[in-house]
Amino acid sequence: MRIDIITIFPDYFAPLELSLIGKARAAGILDIRLHDLRTWTYDRHSTVDDTPYGGGPGMVMKPQPWGEALDSVTAGAEAPPRLVLPTPSGAPFTQNDAKRLSAEPWLVLACGRYEGIDARVPADAARRMPVEEVSIGDYVLAGGESAALVVVETVSRLLPGVLGNAESAVQDSFASGAMENLLEGPVYTKPAQWRDQEAPPVLLSGDHGAVDRWRRHEALRKTARNRPELLRELAARRLDELERSDRELVLELLERVPEE
């Protein structure tokens, strides 16, 4: 997969040289290219923003450098990339979106700053490539770089060969199956006893069926505590698909979950 990132702070993406992403890049699984938006400015201050039409606080990123940057990055492409714009006004970015984007051969991430990018930029880009705006949460960041890192990592770890154990992605929070979109339960490692706490005996039992059942039940309990709306959604849509013990626990937990 190829990922181009356009930003005014290329150094922000130094973490992409580390850990699994760095190894994937070194192995040729992932081709990440960074572009400084100021490359496409022509005044001595390398200006990328201006005051908003209609008045108001803050500054807006100018269309000219963005338009030229996208033209340059995508020039000569046989097939267009998908342009992803991280923004608090975008659609919620989910694990399903990460799976979908991981099947794309080429992504371009545009990292906005200030009050955002002139709206004509994505409108113009949409004439020649698919464009989507995504939000990683209901809060506002100083810029799109942090969100872009989130998108790159969530998408990249789903690529074949990136994770050392592909099964890890299957067991993640929000993984697929009848119990998709649930939180992952607690995890433990050696020693079996640490300070005054013991690892759950079932995990040391060697009974794989019991272990799987314990993990599912703990995932349900954690989801009920931290994301009760996900448990309600599971009950509404897929309750009949669950194993009997899982279904009984869901109904029990729902009695304790406060109403929305």
pLDDT in tens, the chain (260 residues): 999 999 999 999 999 999 999 999 999 999 999 999 999 999 999 999 999 999 999 999 999 999 999 999 999 989 999 999 999 999 999 999 999 999 999 999 999 999 999 999 999 999 999 999 999 999 999 999 999 999 999 999 999 999 865 555 555 655 556 788 899 999 999 999 999 999 999 999 999 999 999 999 999 999 999 999 999 999 999 999 999 999 999 999 999 987 76
Task: Confirm whether 115 is a catalytic residue.
Answer: yes
Residue 227 located in a structural domain:
yes
Asked whether residue 152 falls in the same domain as residue 177, the answer is no
150 annotated as ligand-binding: no
Q: 3-class SS at 134?
A: strand
Alpha helices (H) along 47-111:
63-74, 95-102
CB of 148 closer than 8 Å to CB of 7: yes
Number of domains in the chain: 2
Residue 135 located in a structural domain:
yes
Helix (H) or strand (E) holding 153: helix 145-156
Residue 161 located in a structural domain:
no
137 annotated as ligand-binding: yes
Asked whether residue 192 falls in the same domain as residue 141, the answer is no
Q: What is the domain range of residue 148? A: 2-156
Asked whether residue 127 falls in the same domain as residue 216, the answer is no
Task: Confirm whether 172 is a catalytic residue.
Answer: yes
Tokens of 250: 């869901």
Residue 166 located in a structural domain:
no
Residue 66 located in a structural domain:
yes
The CATH number of the domain where 243 resides is what?
1.10.1270.20
Asked whether residue 207 falls in the same domain as residue 101, the answer is no
> Among residues 49, 68, 104, 115, which one is catalytic?
115
112 annotated as ligand-binding: yes
Asked whether residue 28 falls in the same domain as residue 127, the answer is yes
Asked whether residue 18 falls in the same domain as residue 111, the answer is yes
> What's residue 179's pLDDT?
80
> What's residue 88's pLDDT?
94
Task: Confirm whether 97 is a catalytic residue.
Answer: no
> Among residues 49, 104, 124, 172, which one is catalytic?
172
Asked whether residue 137 falls in the same domain as residue 101, the answer is yes
Give the integer Cα–Cα distance in Å for 15 and 21: 9
Pairing of β 2-7 and β 31-36: parallel
Asked whether residue 106 falls in the same domain as residue 189, the answer is no
Out of 112, 131, 156, pick the residue that ends a domain.
156
Give the integer Cα–Cα distance in Å for 18 and 22: 4
Looking only at Cα atoms, what is the longest distance across the chain? 69
Asked whether residue 58 falls in the same domain as residue 100, the answer is yes
Give the integer Cα–Cα distance in Å for 238 and 246: 11
Tokens of 234: 């599971």
Out of 113, 128, 156, pick the residue that ends a domain.
156
Taken in order 93, 94, 96, 102, the sign of the CA dihedral is: positive
* Residue 165 Ramachandran class (φ > 0 left, ψ -120 to 50 alpha, else beta): beta
Give the integer Cα–Cα distance in Å for 117 and 48: 10
Out of 88, 121, 156, pick the residue that ends a domain.
156
> What's residue 187's pLDDT?
94
Residue 162 located in a structural domain:
no
Task: Confirm whether 88 is a catalytic residue.
Answer: yes
Give the integer Cα–Cα distance in Å for 234 and 251: 11
Tokens of 24: 């994937």
141 annotated as ligand-binding: yes
> Among residues 157, 215, 216, 246, which one is catalytic?
157
Asked whether residue 80 falls in the same domain as residue 205, the answer is no
54 annotated as ligand-binding: no
Residue 163 located in a structural domain:
no
The CATH number of the domain where 142 resides is what?
3.40.1280.10
Tokens of 123: 């409108």
Give the integer Cα–Cα distance in Å for 187 and 166: 17
> What's residue 257's pLDDT?
84
Asked whether residue 40 falls in the same domain as residue 89, the answer is yes
32 annotated as ligand-binding: no
Residue 28 located in a structural domain:
yes
> Among residues 10, 52, 63, 88, which one is catalytic?
88
Asked whether residue 21 falls in the same domain as residue 148, the answer is yes
